[in-house]
Amino acid sequence: MKKMFLVMLLLVAVPVAFADSGPDAAPIYKAKCAMCHGATGDGQTPTGKAMKVRDLRSADVKKMSDADLAKIISDGKGKMPAYKGKLTPAEISALVGFIKALK
pLDDT in tens, the chain (103 residues): 666 544 454 555 544 444 457 899 999 999 999 999 999 999 999 999 999 999 999 999 999 999 999 999 999 999 999 999 999 999 999 999 999 999 8
Sorted by where each begins, the domain ranges of the chain are 23-101
Q: What per-residue confidence (pLDDT) applies to 2?
A: 60
Burial (CB count within 10 angstroms: exposed 0-12, middle 13-18, buried 19+), residue 74: middle
For helices 89-101 and 66-75, the axis angle rounded to 10 degrees is 120
Q: What per-residue confidence (pLDDT) applies to 11?
A: 54
Residues in CB range of 6: below 8 A, 6 or more apart: none
Task: Domain 23-101: state its class.
Answer: mainly alpha
Residue 58: name the closest of 79, 38, 80 by CA. 38
In angstroms, the CA 46 to CA 13 distance is 49
Q: What per-residue confidence (pLDDT) applies to 6?
A: 43
